[in-house]
Amino acid sequence: MQHNYPMDFQSKKLINDPNDVVTEFIEGLIENYPGLQYLDGFPEVKVVLRADVSGAKYDKVAIISGGGSGHEPAHAGFVGEGMLTAAICGDVFASPNVDSILAGIRAVTGPMGCLLIVKNYTGDRLNFGLAAEQAKSEGYKVEMVIVGDDCALPPPRGIAGRRGLAGTLLVHKNYTYLQKDSIDLFCFFVEFKVMRHWLVFVAVTLPMYLAVAGAAAACGLPLADVAAEAKHASEMVGTMGVALSVCTLPGQVTSDRLGPGKMELGLGIHGEPGAAVADLQPVDVVVSHVLKEILSPETNYVPITRGSRVVLLINGLGATPLMELMIIAGKAVPELQLEHGLAVDRVYTGSFMTSLDMAGFSISVMKADQAILDRLDAPTKAPNWPVGAEGNRPPAKIPVPLPPSHSIKSDKTLSRPEKLSPQGHILEAAIEAAATEVVILRDNLNEWDNKVGDGDCGSTMFRGAVAILEDMKKYYPLNDPAETINEIGASIGRVMGGTSGILYSIFCKAAYAKLKENAESVVTALHWADSLEAAIAAVSKYGGASAGYRTLLDALIPALSALKERLNAGDDPVDAFIISAEAASAGAESTKHMQAQAGRSTYVPGDILASVPDPGAMAAAAWYRAAALAVKEKYNTA
């Protein structure tokens, strides 16, 4: 038997090709549980969904979660009636791609919309964010809540925030199977927001706060209310983990980072180093330390006070024997009771959100009352909640749904018009000038990025600019500004990698959605300003940055401010555009004096940053200024 990938003693796995582990896992999962299906889109689209839900007919808010694989049973194992509607599976420890997320949204989302539950990692935020914007532009109602429950680190600086860790279990749960009278009473409380006084979750990243989302969705509440309750719950969540070993990615050799007799405290779930390395201690000492970190009044991550009733979740990370998990549970319960004055009403112990074959555990605590306990005790058909799943076996897979517009969008819509309107000529000139300027600036951008980043900003932007120039000749419907912006986003998404590519894709998608709201045939300067504002807001929302973080927004935010100010003052739109371009350039130059709070520049010493502007901001200012000058030239020669 021949293999073309390494297999030594440390990396032995019961797998075939390491590249196929996620798709083969899904196939095995579906064979075991007849209530689940998957979308027939392997290997790009990896989505597990409830077999009894059809998006077009589903009359409740769909709850969708997901992330990188390697954490099984999360998230696919918690899909089922009473828990998740769909789970989006990325490759091992990698965020799902936008196409997978969109496919999942289209497959299960009905008129009530869907809520995306996303762990706080940059890749997840950006990919789910772009998918959300795309889905909105297709007419779906979508909200997104980001969960960060890491209690191991002090309050963070910058935009990274607390990581999303274990949990997913308790929050995925809802009360679908309670008696009708209980459901009606619960919904009554939710409607009047009394729920905010008793749905206080404390430790479990996704699990605990999805329970609130599921419960609110089951009541038939509108999407905005479901999202609000989920957001509130996510702010009450805290988790901390301990690792005794490093996990092994399929087909790779185990890292020797963690030596004998050592343990890592406050680790993430992707094999990254923990907050601290310490000598291995007796489990009593370790459990006591973890609980103190979760319930610390100094960080105030979770609002737990003496006398509270709580639910305890002990989560194995993949290679921890059940015997050891039970020992941990046996030590945690009296510690919570005697040292913290809490009443422990339920204990759940098992492996719920793992990190492949990592030896270790995480502890989660949740504040509860009888209504919460009743919901957690209710049956569910999700396969990895400790209740068996029943039901007739439907087809194992169904087709990947197409975008709603696919069947009605003609080839002509995606073609360059035979004759350009005056507006089309101006738009063409602006796009050509902007893209050409980026091409010219490639080497300078790379030089700046070599000093403050990974050295490829210019090359990345160059690929996008070249694609735009080529696609514009054939595909851009230049007489339709909204659709043209959408196609620019498609060009960028096809060739630009990394964070820049997805940020600009989000930028274009949000601008497109705003322009589509305009029912007039001509797009005015105010319409363009509004679309720029929407695009900036989307990039800030999903990327996490804002003014002063040393990013492309430090060029675009001043440009927007100047543009709206001059337009509102009644200035000529072309002049306003030129003035805003000058503001963009000044904003980009000002990044020399900023401390980076986003991206790889965060790790660069301040004295180096002080001599170099942010390359992303300089690129944004350059294409913006080039577009403004081209528009001015067109109007002057008209």
d(CA 203, CA 347): 13
DSSP 8-state code for residue 87 = E
Bridge partner list, 242: 265, 361
The Cα–Cα gap between 130 and 495 comes to 16
CB-based burial label for 388 (10 Å; 0-12, 13-18, 19+): exposed
Distance CA 135, CA 141 (A): 8
Q: What angle do CA 445, 451, 457 make, to 5 degrees?
A: 30
Evaluate whether 58 touches 104 at the Cβ level (below 8 Å). Answer: no
- Which strand (E) or helix (H) includes residue 346? strand 343-350
Residue pointed to by tokens 């400790």: 386
**Is 270 among the residues known to form the active site?**
yes
3-state class of 116 per DSSP? strand
Task: Please give the torsion angle defined by the CA atoms of residues 350, 356, 357 and 362, in that order, rounded to the nearest 10 degrees.
Answer: -40
Structure-token match 């999942």, residue found: 104
Closest by CA position to 401, among listed 153, 89, 47, 130: 47
SS3 596: coil
d(CA 177, CA 375): 8
**Hey, what amino acid is at 62?**
A
Chain center to CA of 586: 32
3-state secondary structure (DSSP) of residue 502: helix
Whether the CB-CB separation of 461 and 619 falls below 8 Å is answered with yes
Cis, bond preceding 73 (omega within 30 deg of 0): yes
Q: Compute φ and ψ for 622, nearest 5 degrees.
A: -65, -50
Q: Which residues of 92-113 are buried (b: 16+ CB within 10 A; e: fewer)?
A: bbbbbbbbbbbbbbbbbbbebb
- 554 and 614 in contact (C-beta within 8 Å)? yes
How far is residue 264's CA from residue 369's CA, in Å, rounded to a whole number?
A: 34
Residue by residue, what is the 3-state secondary structure of 426-437? Answer: HHHHHHHHHHHH
Residues 635/472, Cβ–Cβ less than 8 Å: no
Active-site option among 75, 270, 289, 593: 270
What residues pair up with 349 in beta bridges, in sequence order?
A: 314
In the numeric block, the tokens 């957690």 are attached to 376
Separation between Cα atoms, residue 279 and residue 267, nearest integer Å: 15
Distance CA 601, CA 587 (A): 17
Three-state DSSP at 185 gives: helix
CA 424: distance to chain centroid?
Answer: 36
d(C-alpha 301, C-alpha 290), whole Å: 13
DSSP codes, 512-524? HHHHHT--SSS--
Q: What's the distance, CA 544 to chain centroid?
A: 11
For 50, 62, 213, 241, the CA distances from 222, given in Å and listed in that order, are: 21, 11, 11, 35
The residues that are catalytic are: 270
